[in-house]
Amino acid sequence: MFEDFMRMQPRIASLLESELRQGILPRAILFSGPEFSGRMSMSLQLARSLSLNNNADGTDRTGGALVPENNVIVISPRNHKPRICAALQAVSTHKLEAARGQVIESVSLMLAQFHGALADAATAGMKKLFEEAAELHDRLDEFSSLDMNGKMFKTACDALASLLKPFFALSSSSRTLTIAQCREIQGWCRLTALDRRPRIIIIEALEQATEGARNSLLKLLEEPPENSRFILVTSHPERMMATILSRVRQYRFASLSPKVAKEIIISRYGCEVDKNQELKDFILTAGGEDDAKKISLVQEAAHAFAIMMSETETEDSVNLSSIITTVEDSDVIPYFFERMAEELRTLHRQDSLPAPFLHSCLAAVSQGYQQYIVYNLPLRSLLESLCFDRRRTHE
């Protein structure tokens, strides 16, 4: 059932398998841990297992792929572009069936956010994408059946990439949970499914949603509709409401070991990499030369801003303008903040940043990013605020 996850997260895979077998899996659970540790993949596998256990005919309709079916809704602000582009690049270069599977799974996960049950909760700007999602589904079906060595395959890849562009342009704030979605989810869960499969709702990064949306979800968790399951996914359980944490059982994921990360990169993308390369860094740079260059520039910008935060006197205005120009693309802003935090830790390890100041900087970065996500703050205002906090701390 969870065989493919035994090398990635053996403790959690064994625990979930046991709880499913005994029928004691809670109705609401939380997968917490670092990015690229398999939390979403495990969520999809769990949804698939729950659906199989409840199918009237016991049939696996997914063909074994981690593809959300129509009894699964996914709400997530994650940036799907790096994973999809890395897989498209791999399937175009290596003609690897596993890479094609990664394209199908990554695109299907993104499309699960355009579930028909959520259409009435969509804003005017999003409604058009619900229509385009249907065409993308059809193209994905065509892509999945073509001979990778045939003439039509490259055309199918190009068509898929073109259809994906408007979905990639969505901001993360437009994809977080809303109050309207909670209402639609409640109504959808109360509908009787003819095949008896459970209604499964996967919500990622709930901490980025508005307070109203979080409170709406809390009401659902307090009195979950019959035959519903909630799977929450987060990298920051400490930012979640205590009342929500009290309603879920938490499963903590560990970072993937370098060995496992390398095995995944080779088996799924057909690429040989340095044994110490993290899966995240590979995905972010594997989508082509332009993406690799962009990530390199973001890493340099994160290092420069960390230096700015660690020094008492520096020419902020010039450096800040350059940094903002580099990272103003919303696709890379989350990575910029993560990298900046890691650069601050590196400075501390090099004795360039005292421990108390490190902690205050990390707290300011974390809080600032949260405000950027929830309140859609301008990037310049946020970074200027962080610089101001840095000066005040030094004083």
Q: What is the pLDDT of residues 261-317, one digit of tens each?
A: 888 888 888 887 766 678 888 888 776 666 667 778 888 888 888 888 877 555 555
What the block records as the tokens of 391 is 């000066």
Helix, strand or coil, per DSSP, at residue 274: coil
Label residue 21 by pLDDT band (50, 70, 90): very high
Written as six digits, the tokens of 346 are: 């590196």
Q: What is the pLDDT of residues 130-171, one digit of tens each?
A: 989 989 999 999 899 999 988 899 899 999 999 999 998 886
CATH number of 3-252: 3.40.50.300
Q: Is the pLDDT of residue 2 over 70?
A: yes
Contacts with 309 (C-beta within 8 Å, 6 or more apart), sequence order: 344, 361, 386, 387, 390
pTM over 0.85: no
- Widest pairwise Cα distance in the chain: 69
d(CA 380, CA 146): 46
Task: Show me where the domains of the chain are located.
Answer: 3-252, 289-394
307: amino acid identity, one letter:
I
